[in-house]
């Protein structure tokens, strides 16, 4: 079962940032998934999940920053996690990273710094993805930076695990990233 987490506190968040992820997951992995708002996740949800995707939310909707304690489970979760935008900020924040004010909106050139199975199928070490964020994070201790743009780190991975964060939005024009994650 794939657990998809909504990080937004406004209705727009679900239709813009969660539904497109759900469509990809159902298309690739089938209907065995559940969507929950992060504030409603219980231990049973996590124990039943084979993978977790923490979705993004609108730029100004950063209530999740005040609720990082609700994501403490990330540290002990031993299954694959993909954090998208706000999800990457959450993962990095749980591991002590600093938030950095950096705005990126629109198609952005992403440079792969380190080869990884998440990027399988990329035609080169440079590709474009859609970004929409007002802050990023530095790379937390115990993580590798896998990709960057001219402005910020765009992908991180916890060393020795399948815990990933991406600042860009693969649900917009990079479904292959989510497909690769689902194949882990």
Residues with a known catalytic role: 85, 169, 171
Measured between alpha carbons, how far is 158 from 49 in angstroms, rounded to an integer? 19
- The sign of the CA dihedral 6, 11, 14, 16 is negative
* Of 58, 70, 68, 47, residue with least CA distance to 18: 58
Q: CB 119: neighbour CB atoms within 10 A?
A: 18
Q: Are strands 51-54 and 81-84 parallel, antiparallel or unpaired?
A: parallel
Residue 135 is given by DSSP the state E
Give me 149's structure tokens. 């743009």
Q: How far from 134 is each of 60, 98, 151, CA to CA, in Å?
A: 8, 14, 11
Strand positions, DSSP E, the chain: 2-6, 33-37, 51-54, 81-84, 99-112, 126-137, 143-148, 153-158, 163-166
């Amino acid at each position: 079962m794939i657990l998809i987490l909504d990080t937004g506190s406004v209705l727009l968040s679900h239709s813009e940032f969660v539904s497109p992820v759900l469509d990809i997951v159902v298309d690739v992995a089938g209907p065995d998934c559940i969507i929950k708002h992060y504030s409603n996740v219980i231990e049973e949800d996590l124990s039943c999940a084979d993978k977790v995707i923490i979705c993004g939310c609108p730029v100004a909707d950063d209530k999740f920053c005040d609720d990082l304690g609700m994501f403490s489970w990330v540290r002990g979760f031993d299954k694959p996690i993909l954090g998208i935008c706000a999800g990457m900020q959450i993962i990095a924040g749980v591991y002590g990273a600093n938030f950095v004010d950096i705005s990126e909106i629109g198609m952005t050139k992403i440079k792969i710094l380190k080869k990884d199975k998440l990027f399988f199928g990329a035609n080169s070490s440079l590709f474009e993805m859609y970004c929409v964020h007002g802050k990023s994070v530095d790379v937390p201790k115990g993580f590798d930076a896998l990709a960057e743009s001219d402005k910020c780190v765009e992908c991180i991975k916890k060393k020795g695990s399948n815990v990933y964060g991406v600042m860009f939005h693969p649900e917009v024009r990079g479904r292959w990233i989510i497909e690769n994650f689902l194949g882990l």
